[in-house]
Structure 1
Amino acid sequence: MSSAPVGRHPRPAEDRDGGAGRRRFPRLPRHPLAGPLGLLGAGLAGSAYLYTRNPHLPGQWLPFCPWRRLTGLQCPGCGGTRMAYDLLHGDLLAAWHDNAAVLLAIPFIALWYAVRLRHGLAGRYWKLRMDRRAVTALLGAAVLWTIGRNLL
């Protein structure tokens, strides 16, 4: 006979951790400044790489838009790489032509980054929280931009 209490059956080891042999590791502590500094480093590295490539020319090793490859239509972010290249080279008019919506969003993205950096320097975590109306407005603007740029 078994010595296990009635009604209780010990689970096999592979079921204790929630899956077949999957281990759960504790989350490592991270300083609140790690995210903003990591984003800054990745942005600088990406900018340095993009500065030497011209996305207006064919044959460059740069990211592509899967939505455009599948449908032939431009998504809200299409032209963002060309826009960033033009901004890095000081051509604001060409950047506007490539993707005006993303260009107009840059001040808001910079403000978000500055707030996150300020909180990180103070040792606090900060996360952007948007209510349902803000998310709806943002998605609505993206849909309108997509429709407008594909019709014109």
Structure 2
Amino acid sequence: MPDSNKYFKIGLILVLAGVFFIVYYTYDPSENGFFIPCPFHYLTGFHCPGCGSQRAIHLLFRGDIFGAFRFNPLMVLTIPILVYGLGITIVNWIFGTSYRFLLFYSKVFIFGYFALAVIYWVLRNIPIYPFNLLAPTG
């Protein structure tokens, strides 16, 4: 029975990833009301560090890396780290292993990334060149 549980988990991951891909490939967040707008931007008019991420993911699935970079460069640069960490988590969940992505356990990385996100948040809201290039454009 342990093998059937493993296959169920793999199937579940594939189905969820497929649905995620289909939704983001099919529906353009710029043109579809299906996606929730950023509450921070809606209330304040300022861009949070995540603003533009939905449109960037849509463009990444369509192969437009430069377009995605225009919407949220920090998120585009962070995706490889997140995919690797998520991959390790999924492998651990399916196979019952306990591998760790040591970067996520480093205080220097955690605090450094948090500081980078805060700096990015402030800079992308300065309406002066070159900082305005960090704001989502489309």
Q: 5+ unaligned residues in a row in structure 2: which ranges?
A: 127-131, 133-138
| TM-score normalised per structure 2 | 0.71
1:46 corresponds, among 7, 16, 20, to 20
Question: Could you tell me the TM-score, scaled by structure 1's length?
Answer: 0.66
Counterpart AA for 1:139: F
1:92 aligns with 2:65: yes
Q: Could you tell me which amino acid in structure 2 is paired with residue 48 of structure 1?
A: I
Quote how far apart the aligned CAs of 1:52 are: 1.7
Alignment of 1:3-152 (within 5 A): 41-57=15-31, 59-125=32-98, 130-151=105-126, 152=132
Offset from partner CA, 1:110-134 (integer Å, 9 cap, x none): 1112222332343135676534433
Question: Contact between 1:79 and 1:98, CA under 8 Å: does it hold in 2?
Answer: yes
Please give the alpha-carbon distance, in whole angstroms, between the structure 2 residues aligned to 1:147 and 1:88: 28
The percent of aligned pairs where both chains have the same amino acid is: 23
> Which stretches of structure 1, 4 residues or longer, exceed 3 Å deviation after superposition?
31-43, 125-129
The structure carrying a bigger helix percent of its residues is 2
- Verify the 8 A CA contact 2:9 2:94 in the aligned structure 1: no
Q: Structure 1 residues 121, 39: CA separation in 2 closer, same or farther (over 3 Å shift)?
A: closer
Q: CA RMSD in A?
A: 2.8
* Bigger Rg, structure 1 or 2: 1
**Aligned partner of 1:77: which letter?**
G
Contact 2:88 2:100 in 1 (8 A): no
